[in-house]
Structure 1
């Protein structure tokens, strides 16, 4: 089934009209606000309520790449991938109760700044570079990869040309409306994404004949969150041990996810906002995974599971509506790419160039460096994306999770021990951030490219990537403890963080988290009874 052949001139016209309108709106907003925006707009002035925090965190997490990847894994394995949404509540709770009070108590704007207060400037500098690598791999290249697959499906182009086209559209957005285009139009896109996904879910259920029919027409294991230990795709032990490594990094230590909590009015609002995010994560399964399962029932002979979402769109939606869905997906992808390039440029320019290389740089010089880094980042991301595209034997969802699984261990180790164990030294933390990261990424390169598993040929060198991530985490944990206890730390930095004034958890926060925990236990019991 060729998706390109399912589209006509009206759909492509809708795509073009939507993108031009979006750029026009952004440019209009930019002109309307040409006097500039004060700093509190970007720092939120510690004014965010729980509702803003919840929607911002969830909105940062979801997007077209997640939608396409989750539909793909839903098509091949059912609801088991829901663990990556529902199991997350434990680590969002960890953020709310353990990390958020400490972050807010330290009055920091960024997580590198927090670790700088804990361990010193050297750790803050290393974390800046770590953030650059993370943005290149997890936010920019993976988004380009998912976007390239989408453009391939829509326009029938090769991956390299699809990626170049996406970057060109991103540049067009920036030139025509700047990043304000993204800021002022992202809400519209998120609302449309949610509405479209709900419509697709209901139309799909109607075509299948209802939820009961959907369950009866799929294998029993499609409705189990925990699969047997010998399952080839997602054994329960791999999820139980491996996801927490990724969960701690993503929900508790990644700047993009945590910054909404950093902008909270107070600790209570931050904790309630995190709770709201965890509730919103529940709808990920019906919004993103269920369409893939329905596609398995309606179109069981699909050659490429990564095309599950777009197949549902092209087969179930009328002309024009197909074009609107594609336009929203492309525009939201461009939004993420623009934001990623901007974050990359900002971190390098301000935390590396201005702080370490040229502290007296003029404003004009800083802007030039920022533009140069943006271009270099775009070029590097193309090569990384093409390398990701060369990974064999994994679908889109598994590619996402495996790459993140090799990024996560060093950061999870440093933050868990740095926050929870007072004896952790700067030398130990820096060693994990430098050598631990090189070790973890090297294992990832060997796993994904050099010596990949090949089940079809009967070659299995490695354990499941989630278990491998867990083993790396355990190894680095042993190393950070050993260095902290056995190696003298010559750092003269004094830890100035004081947690004595952390407020107790309010009764309302306890109640809402208690209800959520009970709800999640109920969902896990229900989806393991098949």
Structure 2
């Protein structure tokens, strides 16, 4: 990097420090102040925070790498961002009326305390083992590529970059809480968008334009059924991304992530009212239309440049191009001085905002769902300190898990989606039945979660066992266990798992006592009071509907173009 690049990075850091100092001077007297920013966020802050929190290293490394290795296939998961609209239009009223801080807390209000404990444990473990660790791992990798430094002071630069990123982010998250996450996102989001847009434009100019990229990628077949890298919809016999499985699996994962996951919903709960929260989700849905073009398409551009130049991407030990290096390689090879510094700021913004959101959400889960439950009379200011201490522990656990994540390598984004495909169905089923069906009982919700957890763990363990045993998928048709938990395509498995968990909730609920009407008032369709419905109706107007229709129209047009 040139001197001008370092000056740009320095200015970004000064602006970031200024925001953090301002946030730290605000009073944080209780858990609501610390974890929800005092519930006074506007739609701009909410939407920007949703987008900036979502866009992390799994996009800079994983999504761009996916574009370079398999083309448009992973676009399903990004374009399903329209489901943020379901969060705003359907779930926000129920979450707002329940006055909760965490999603497990909502399950306790709707079902029972056991459901809350199960979801808290699933969320905390998954955050540390997947989101925190993967973000930190990929952050170290991307800065090692961008700076071109292998070792510094005799230490692997990967570790310096990864741990430095964690410590800096942890400091402002610990002391600033949710407000620091929200307001730094307002700075980070436009920088991330501008930087990624520059990469897209310069990449297309270097290659020779959009048509050239589509020509090269359309000539590369990805299966024996005639599908190419440019096809979003692939033959239903495709072993990895059958079109029906991709639509079902991405929808299940998308529903879980955008409507029920603490990581995203906590940003919406920080809104000052239903109107700001809903409009925040609409703004976030607009922004979520962009990652396919800002990250996946640059990955395809990097692949096309490698096809034409032969040595654009670095090579792996097995002789294949390193797809996960697509985005940082574009940064390192195409950008002039000053602009490269801006891109580095964008990368920093993505990594830090995603990590900060993870730290804050994890701390909220521990403090509210565990500590406060067992010590309900704890002083509100002490809860803030407990949340800060919890963040420190989560940071440490994430760092300790990095050595394991280094073995993930070039399957980073697929690894994330694979784990989420068995995590999502049980949780999605319980939330869906909880707000749609008044008869869903506490035992039904609890056993739905347990069923999802047991099946998910069984699937992951079976995959590890059979993969290491060099078993050929479908090779032993007499082994029912292998067929169900290994041979079945991961996307179809996700869909069938959702159906099974819904049935568990349904059947158990039929054989157990129905919930008292007073307990579920305002938490399920058909139980809201006239006053609650009036508040919700006053929170939207025709403009909210118009923007929602525009977003859905763009989504349909995207599928039509890349069909």
What is the TM-score normalised by the length of structure 1?
0.84
1:41-80 to structure 2, matched below 5 A, reads: 43=36, 47-80=40-73
Aligned twin of 1:433: 449
CA RMSD of aligned residues (A): 3.7
Identify the range of structure 1 (325-334 vs 365-374) with the bigger mean alpha-carbon deviation. Answer: 365-374
Aligned twin of 2:528: 499
2:297 paired with 1:290: yes
Aligned twin of 2:235: 228
Distance 1:438 1:523 in 2: 37
Aligned twin of 1:156: 150
Alpha-carbon shift at residue 242 of structure 1 (Å):
1.0
- Asked if the contact 2:105/2:369 (under 8 Å) is kept, the reply is no
Alpha-carbon shift at residue 369 of structure 1 (Å):
5.1
Identify the range of structure 1 (150-159 vs 326-335) with the bigger mean alpha-carbon deviation. Answer: 150-159
Alpha-carbon shift at residue 386 of structure 1 (Å):
3.5
- Asked if the contact 1:427/1:491 (under 8 Å) is kept, the reply is no
Match of 2:369 among 339, 342, 351: 351
Distance 1:257 1:342 in 2: 11
Alpha-carbon shift at residue 291 of structure 1 (Å):
0.8
2:394 paired with 1:377: yes
Aligned twin of 1:4: none
- Asked if the contact 2:441/2:512 (under 8 Å) is kept, the reply is no
Alpha-carbon shift at residue 56 of structure 1 (Å):
2.9
Distance 1:150 1:207 in 2: 22
Residues 367 and 522 of structure 1: is their aligned pair in 2 closer, same or farther, counting only changes over 3 Å?
closer
- Asked if the contact 2:65/2:326 (under 8 Å) is kept, the reply is yes
Residues 454 and 192 of structure 1: is their aligned pair in 2 closer, same or farther, counting only changes over 3 Å?
farther
Distance 1:523 1:176 in 2: 38
Alpha-carbon shift at residue 475 of structure 1 (Å):
2.0
- Asked if the contact 2:359/2:395 (under 8 Å) is kept, the reply is yes
Give 3-state SS (helix, strand or coil) of 1:451's partner: helix
Distance 2:529 2:14 in 1: 52
2:248 paired with 1:241: yes
Aligned twin of 1:406: 422
Distance 1:147 1:396 in 2: 12
Alpha-carbon shift at residue 106 of structure 1 (Å):
3.6
Distance 2:171 2:35 in 1: 21
Match of 1:146 among 135, 138, 143: 138
- Asked if the contact 1:53/1:264 (under 8 Å) is kept, the reply is yes
Unaligned runs of at least 5 residues, structure 2: 220-227, 314-320, 475-485
Give 3-state SS (helix, strand or coil) of 2:397's partner: helix
Aligned twin of 1:119: 111
2:341 paired with 1:312: no
Unaligned runs of at least 5 residues, structure 1: 1-7
Residues 337 and 163 of structure 1: is their aligned pair in 2 closer, same or farther, counting only changes over 3 Å?
farther
Alpha-carbon shift at residue 304 of structure 1 (Å):
0.6
1:105-254 to structure 2, matched below 5 A, reads: 105-153=97-145, 154=147, 155-156=149-150, 162=158, 165-172=161-168, 174-175=170-171, 179-180=175-176, 184-219=183-218, 221-254=228-261
Match of 1:465 among 471, 485, 490: 490
Residues 108 and 373 of structure 1: is their aligned pair in 2 closer, same or farther, counting only changes over 3 Å?
closer
- Asked if the contact 2:199/2:331 (under 8 Å) is kept, the reply is yes
Distance 1:9 1:259 in 2: 39
1:413-492 to structure 2, matched below 5 A, reads: 413-447=429-463, 449-452=464-467, 458-459=472-473, 461-487=486-512
Deviations 1:346-398 (A, max 9, x none): 32133212321x44556797577556544442343245444344348x62221
Aligned twin of 2:224: none
Distance 1:94 1:370 in 2: 30
2:359 paired with 1:341: yes
Residues 443 and 229 of structure 1: is their aligned pair in 2 closer, same or farther, counting only changes over 3 Å?
same
Deviations 1:155-197 (A, max 9, x none): 3369997357523443245558954466654433322211111
Alpha-carbon shift at residue 50 of structure 1 (Å):
4.2
What is the TM-score normalised by the length of structure 2?
0.79
Distance 1:162 1:22 in 2: 26
Deviations 1:213-259 (A, max 9, x none): 22222225333221111223322122122112111111111123223
Distance 2:550 2:12 in 1: 42
Distance 2:465 2:287 in 1: 39
